[in-house]
Amino acid sequence: MSADTVGAAGFVVLCSTEGLVRQVVCDTVGLAPLVGLPFAQIAEPESLAKVAAFQQALADQGAVLGWEISVAIDGATVCLGLNGAVTPDGILLMGSAVPLGLYDEVTRLNNMLANLQRKMAKQNVAMDRLNALKDQFVGMAAHALQTPNGAISVLAEALLEELGPTLSDVHREYLETIQSSAEYVRVLAGIYLDAATIGTGAMRFTFAPTDLADLVSRSVKLHRTVSARLHDSAVLTIEGAGPPLMLDRGKIEEALHNLLDNADKHSPAGARVEIDLAFGEVAARLTVTDHGQGMAPEERACLFQPYQVTGASKDKTGVGLGLSIVRRIVEGHGGNVQLEETPGGGARFVVTLPLRTAPA
């Protein structure tokens, strides 16, 4: 059999349960002389063990697919792709011949693939280590910001209290801006700390009785101070009153900051951003609505996944962690967050928090 005809060669033979060839049903390979002889007789010495394993697999499983063995046919070594099945009449073997050149090439490509997989595994280990170092650095930097920033906030508050009656309106405004900015940095430091732990699932919560309405009011006021866009366009509505809830105040502030920051990025100049807080019988419902361009369906599907930058945010700073942090924080409080459709475009994020008044 020549190499030119090997690629189209195939066979179907029926063997006894002992492996003797009883009938050659179809043959373009050259197996006719095997009738009455063991099929394994044509196997090259290095393939005898593999043929025995093939026969054992047939006995155990009843059918075997995709084996390859080297055989000698008409003085030439050929690779047979071999399949087998146990039937009431015996063992049915079928397959085709593959040129050794092609077989060697496939083997070479498989080896290359294995080498690439090993190389990629090493690179993944190195990348994981770099990510861990990056998260450690971000966490350390955010933690280091807290001490000087706390001092700024405390000193600004002390100056306001001690010098209040003697301050001019301009100087009072300066100190209040310093205090608001320090509070803003405190929230950002908390977000960076959470970003450093988002891949490890190590976010921790410290729950204490918290006035949610006061927290939301103060957060919106802070964003009006530091965001030129939200200064006049942020509209806050609080319906009803609820009891002090067991919340991690800092984490809820971070979540609300991220939602307001997201609305800020997606809102055109002058567009309203609506923040609504309502207390129900079993849960508080907080919504943040913008009137921007909205999000495409494919963006909604991965909206709360880490490192997803969507819509108008693609042209702004950020790495796409804000909404994933929101989800982690809200779910850590036993609540949920989702995106709702809004008439006329835009996006409405709805946060539901249980009215938990005692430690869980």
> Consecutive 10-residue runs of the chain (360 residues): their mean pLDDT?
51 90 87 87 84 90 87 77 90 80 62 84 84 70 70 80 84 83 76 64 82 91 76 84 89 89 81 91 92 72 62 47 84 91 81 84
CA pair distance 242, 255, nearest whole angstrom: 20
Instruction: Tell me the sheet residues that pair with 235.
Output: 274
Q: Is 52 helix (H, G, I), strand (E, B) or coil?
A: helix
CA pair distance 283, 351, nearest whole angstrom: 10
- Assign residue 302 a region: left if phi > 0, alpha if psi is -120 to 50, beta otherwise? alpha
Residue 339: its H or E element: strand 336-340
Q: Would you say the pTM of this structure is higher than 0.85?
A: no
CA pair distance 302, 305, nearest whole angstrom: 5
pLDDT for position 196: 64
CATH (residue range 3-98): 3.30.450.20
Single-letter residue type at 331: E
pLDDT for position 3: 42
Question: How are the residues of the chain apportioned to helix, strand and coil, as percentages rounded to the nearest 5?
Answer: 50, 25, 25
Write out the DSSP string of 102-123. Answer: HHHHHHHHHHHHHHHHHHHHHH
Task: Classify domain 205-360 at the CATH topology level.
Answer: Heat Shock Protein 90 (3.30.565)
Are 91 and 84 spatial neighbours (Cβ–Cβ below 8 Å)? yes
pLDDT for position 337: 93
pLDDT for position 147: 66
Are 11 and 28 spatial neighbours (Cβ–Cβ below 8 Å)? yes
**Helix locations, the chain, DSSP H:** 3-6, 48-61, 100-163, 169-197, 212-226, 230-233, 249-266, 297-301, 322-332
CA diameter of the chain: 115
CA pair distance 175, 164, nearest whole angstrom: 10
Residue tagged 């030129």 (tokens): 228
CA pair distance 39, 228, nearest whole angstrom: 84
CA pair distance 261, 267, nearest whole angstrom: 10
pLDDT for position 296: 67
Q: Give the number of other Cβ atoms within 10 Å of residue 148's Cβ.
A: 11
Smallest CA-to-CA distance from 98 within 9, 21, 30 is with 9
CA pair distance 204, 197, nearest whole angstrom: 9
Smallest CA-to-CA distance from 159 within 185, 182, 186 is with 182
